[in-house]
Amino acid sequence: MFKITNKERLAKDITKIVVEAPLIAKKAKAGQFVVVINDDKGERIPLTMADWDRQRGIITLILQDVGFTTHKLAAREIGNCIAHILGPLGHATEIKKLGQVICIGGGVGIAEILPVAGAFKQAGNDVVSIIGARNKELLILEEEMRAVCNELYITTDDGSYGRKGFVTELLKEILDGKTDKRANRQTHLIYAVGPIVMMRAVSDLTRPFRIKTIVSLNTIMVDATGMCGSCRCSVGDQAKFACVDGPDFDGHLVNFQELGKRVNQFKAQEQIIRDTL
């Protein structure tokens, strides 16, 4: 059993929970995820580890309430136990000293880039991050991000905070050398996590610049150990299992259109069970 030791609402619909999971905490690396089963009738859902503390044996999960299971999890209280957590899963993000790395997070994706940005910084990179949300109320982890980045840019779709617009618009300015601080600086890697449309837009934008762009794919998963193929996706001309071959992939090779369709496979069922809440 995995006890919830802390819980905090970060924004409307976004909740942080801290859970006792000593074995997982000991092995966790940036970019890896866990599978969580809320209760004995629950489904298995993947969640990225936003943080962990090896000494205290805890991991932090940040989840957006988008449906039945995330809603149930967000409703759990401190002291409650989560039935099952398996991890750490997937390959850790490849962290190297490269030079300048731009990390881009959209919505709850900010929680997923936080540890990666931190790891790149620690490896001696110059880390620039762009984080975006629909509006000010939905923006999370600004302080935490600022602490691990050399520079942090913020966008909101409605302009209620930071720059008005999408993360890609700001990224384009940086790549075009329009932001004064970044003029003539080469970008060595881009790491983007967020909604599929965002990851796709980032990848399309960076392709002509030939900057390596890594995205973390949020496919639908069941076992998350490579046994079912629910998470399959097309990368280049290859079929990949996101849970064991990923979740990080080269954004320039990912078939986002197919991915977009695959995450909608259970729309009708998701609605049915949401109505039981």
Ligand X SMILES: Cc1cc2nc3c(=O)[nH]c(=O)nc-3n(C[C@H](O)[C@H](O)[C@H](O)COP(=O)(O)OP(=O)(O)OC[C@H]3O[C@@H](n4cnc5c(N)ncnc54)[C@H](O)[C@@H]3O)c2cc1C
Q: Find out whether 104 and 41 touch, Cβ atoms under 8 Å.
A: no
- 192 or 243: CB nearest ligand FES: 243
10-18, 93-101, 192-200, 224-232 -> range binding another protein (CB under 8 A) = 224-232
Is 120 in a helix, a strand, or coil? helix
- β-pairing, 58-64 vs 213-216, is unpaired
Q: Does 54 bind another protein (CB under 8 A)?
A: no
Q: Smallest distance from the beta carbon of 103 to another protein, in angstroms?
A: 25
| Residues in region 169-228 near ligand FES by CB under 6 A | 221-224, 226-228
Q: Smallest distance from the beta carbon of 177 to ligand X, in angstroms?
A: 33
Q: Does 239 bind ligand FES (CB under 6 A)?
A: no
| Residues in region 27-56 near ligand FES by CB under 6 A | none
Q: Tell me, residue by residue from 237 to 276, as one string, x for binding to another protein by CB under 8 A and - for no binding.
A: --x----x-------------x--xx-xxx-xxx-xx--x
Residue 182: partners with Cβ closer than 8 Å, 6 or more residues away? 128, 174
- 46 or 187: CB nearest ligand X: 46
Tokens 């080269």 -> residue = 250
- Rounded CA-CA distance 174/145 in Å is 18
Q: Tell me, residue by residue from 182 to 201, as one string, x for binding to another protein by CB under 8 A and - for no binding.
A: --------------------
- Rounded CA-CA distance 103/81 in Å is 33
Calculate the alpha carbon distances from 233 to 44, 243, 258 in Å: 19, 10, 8
The first and second tokens of residue 19, run together, are: 């859970």
173 CB neighbour count, 10 Å cutoff: 14
Q: Does 243 bind ligand FES (CB under 6 A)?
A: yes
User: Which residue among 101, 233, 235, 254 contacts another protein (CB under 8 A)?
Assistant: 233
User: Which residue among 89, 108, 193, 217 contacts another protein (CB under 8 A)?
Assistant: 89
Nearest to 168 by CA among 153, 188, 181: 153
Q: Does 39 bind ligand X (CB under 6 A)?
A: no
φ, ψ for residue 191, nearest 5 deg? -125, 120
Q: Does 218 bind ligand X (CB under 6 A)?
A: yes
User: Which residue among 52, 153, 166, 241 contacts ligand FES (CB under 6 A)?
Assistant: 241
Spell out the alpha helix ranges (H) of the chain.
22-27, 68-74, 109-122, 142-148, 167-175, 196-206, 242-245, 256-262, 267-274
Q: Is the peptide bond before 88 cis (omega within 30 degrees of 0)?
A: yes
User: Which residue among 30, 85, 95, 117 contacts another protein (CB under 8 A)?
Assistant: 85
Binding site residues, ligand FES, CB under 6 A:
221-224, 226-231, 241, 243
Binding site residues, another protein, CB under 8 A:
23-24, 27, 37-38, 41-44, 68-69, 83-89, 222-223, 225-230, 232-234, 239, 244, 258, 261-262, 264-266, 268-270, 272-273, 276
